Amino acid sequence: MEDISVFEEVSSMGHEQVVYCHEKSTGLKAIIAIHNTVLGPALGGTRMWMYENEAQATYDALRLSRGMTFKNSIAGLNLGGGKAVIIGDARKHKSEGMLRAYGRFLKNLNGKYITAEDVGMNASDMEHIAAETSHVSGMPETRGGLGDPSPFTAYTTYMGMKAAAKKQFGSDSLEGKKVSIQGAGHVGEYIIQHLKKEGCEIYVSDYYEDRVKDVVNKYGIKGVGLDEIYDLDVDIYSPCALGATVNDETLSKLKCSIIAGCANNQLADEKVHGDLAKSKGILYAPDFLINSGGVINVYAEVIKTTKDWSWNKCEFVYDQTLKVFDQSQATGKNAQEVAIDIAQQRINEVAAIKSTY
């Protein structure tokens, strides 16, 4: 990871632009990656995380922004893909000054990239960014926005789980199913609520131990260690934190029939680990498809429509996920590859139209 060549990665993933942002007095170190703007301005959240080094942060921004291109496309949104990361511990380093400084960098992009919240960020943080730029979505409802997108992300992820259960078990009922959830953040907790109502047996882990204690006490579920989550004998493993948790090491441990979560870039390598999961009989629900609810609601704010529009739009996920599984079975490709093909086809069609004038 330390030997990453930025230009090689940008070229291989097909990015349009990468912006490095630094403001000394606030400690801001941010990376904005714009992957593709064929369908519209790039939209994707800003993540704040304590990366081990700048190369790791850059790679994360590049992968996340590419995923947003496919997510926005497969959801039928007129948006391109972008993402940003801020290097730092959100609990210790985040400040109004830092966020406003970051907002100034966004403003300089003149609307090519629109941001929203992601890991380590919330709606009130968007207010600070919005003090410097209008290219922000996911604003609090008190400010005329549509608020926290987390419930929408959780809902479509839940719908993806049910579609996977339908394909794998013959019924989309999750009653009695054992589900391990890695990550008890905003979205993870909403997913826990859905699964609890359906009568699932739920296990949860999180980087922050206090979050595990909170949800365990609140919902009567079982907390487990960060590494222990991979060893559980469950029906569904649900990655709801950072990416690349489906890899050589974890696939040798996982005892599940379905992988379906809200995290982005769950497969360390889309081809290698998508194929490996498939060969092991594990049904993988494409992450950018089933976690698209949040960006749908953020887009609703951009086009100035309502939450009702968002909820209705989110309903596409169940049927689309089943179609992806069927195509995967018919073609032999893993489900992630199939979903990417569907998303890329729309991008290619619009690009061809644009090239005629």
Question: Per the annotation, does 82 bind a ligand?
Answer: no
Enclosing H/E stretch for 333: none
Q: CA-CA distance, 274 to 282, in Å (whole number)?
A: 9
Asked whether residue 187 is marked as a ligand-binding residue, the answer is: yes
CA–CA gap between residue 100 and residue 266 (Å, rounded): 31
DSSP string of 143-166? GTS----HHHHHHHHHHHHHHHHH
What separation in angstroms does the CA of 154 have from each of 194, 231, 246, 291? Answer: 8, 24, 20, 7
Which one of 29, 71, 83, 278 is the catalytic residue? 83
At position 74, the amino acid (one-letter code) is I
End-to-end CA distance of the chain: 42
Distance between CA atoms of 181 and 232, rounded to whole angstroms? 11
307 in active site: no
Q: Is 225 annotated as a binding residue?
A: no
Helix H or strand E encompassing 98 = helix 96-107
Residue 41 gets the label, from left (phi > 0), alpha (psi -120 to 50) or beta, of beta
For residue 30, what are the contacts with CB-CB under 8 A and spacing of at least 6? 20, 21, 22, 46, 84, 85, 86, 87, 102, 105
Does the annotation list 185 as a binding residue?
yes
The whole-angstrom separation of Cα 145 and Cα 156 is 21
d(CA 203, CA 205): 7
**Strand, helix or coil at 202?**
strand
User: According to the annotation, is 40 in a ligand binding site?
Assistant: no
Active site residues: 83
Q: Which residues are annotated as a binding site for NAD(+)?
A: 183-188
Q: Which residues are annotated as a binding site?
A: 183-188
